[in-house]
Amino acid sequence: MAGTRTGEFRQLISPFLQAKIAELEEAYGPDSRQVLALTRQYVTSPLETVVQDNARRRHYESEVSILFDGRPVVGVERLYRRTMLIEPTTVCAAHCRWCLRGQYPIRTMKEDDITHATRYIGSAELRDDVNEVLITGGDPLMSLPLLGLTLGELARNAPNVRIVRIGSRVPFQDPARINDAMLEMFGRYPDFRFELGCNVNHPLEFWPESIDSLKRLQDIGFRIYNQHPLLKGVNDDTETLTELYELLRWHGIEAHYLFHAIPMRGMAHHRTSLRRGLELVRRLTAGGVFSGRAKPHYAVLSDIGKIVIYDGVIRDHREEDNCLLLRSGFRLKERRAWNPSWQVPESLVIDNDGFMCTWYVDGTDDPIPADAA
């Protein structure tokens, strides 16, 4: 995930990925499905200029807008009771074209902002509820000094935090960054349970360098899980997903969320219909294709937070703008208790049982035009 200054999300492909794409082009040809599995993730498409009327630059609002010790807390988000999110930097090794935060402003937290945010996380107001911090961005593994500062300030100022999750694609974009210095830094904090949320979308991304970088983290105690989007023309078929989840299991990586691709500006060509994803997940989870130990949760990241797609979650369909009404397990009063500054989105509907529902922009199953693939 990464930001943009101009509103246009520039192409950025790491040297590591450039080399891998070149190897695939030489082995299979430039228009092969193997090459497209990577280039559709990282290479700018002319279809990004096709913008739907209901497309947005920002998908949801969860930033904490609150004064603490007389000044605003910055770089912190909260949607759930136990977990706070902190974003030290929005820099990434490469720009995923389907990025949730691709249209967000570029930001790097200052040292005093990080100290202030961690003191807020450890304050009496939050101490009894919050026990987990997700460090994301951007990619936290892109800046060892910022990551080390964040961990040190959490250890000093927020003793209630026991679990530290880090969201990163570095193992699959620039794995050499996971080096001895980084491992030594993590070793300074034995009281944290460290988890790494990686993002691998296709079986061919399990390169030896990536596997080795993940193994180095596992060897010092990291638990690793994967959450990734369903991407049209990349992994929206049973065979690819089956191979992906079997590889995740073999390498000790938990299959966590399979996300329906988010309805962001210029992303329509990446998005299947929600029901297409649901059918794929049914085949995976109920068809005896592979072990139940490797099956993910199918979810959307909506205006009001993550909604796992179970039977009965889809309540209505609005054909005129292709929106689905989705029922969550959240109540408005709980959300406001966790984040008093949370802004109610226009899509919100409260059902008769007091649960929040939201109108969610669906995708389509139209094929990707050959000249834009």
Rounded average pLDDT over 151-176: 99
Q: Each residue of 243-288: pLDDT tens digit?
A: 999 999 999 999 999 999 999 888 999 999 999 999 999 999 888 8
HSE-up of 89 (CA within 13 Å, CB side)? 17
Fold of 15-314: TIM Barrel (3.20.20)
Per-residue confidence (pLDDT) for residue 237, from 0 to 100: 97
DSSP designation for 368: P
User: Between 311 and 2, whose confidence is greater?
Assistant: 311
As given in the structure block, the two tokens for residue 138 are 């951007």
Token readout for 235 is 């992994």
- The kind and range of the H/E element at 338 are helix 332-338
pLDDT > 90 in the chain, percent: 78
When mean pLDDT is compared across 54-63, 67-76, 138-147, the lowest value belongs to: 54-63
Residue 105, both tokens: 């402003």
Q: What is the mean pLDDT of the chain?
A: 92
Q: Give the pLDDT band (50/70/90) at residue 103.
A: low
SS3 251: coil
Q: Answer yes or no: is pLDDT of 57 > 60.
A: no
Q: What is the pLDDT of residues 168-213, one digit of tens each?
A: 999 999 999 999 999 999 999 999 999 999 999 999 999 999 999 9
pTM of the model: 0.93
Nearest CA to 174 among 20, 61, 56, 304? 20
Listed by start position, the domains of the chain span 15-314
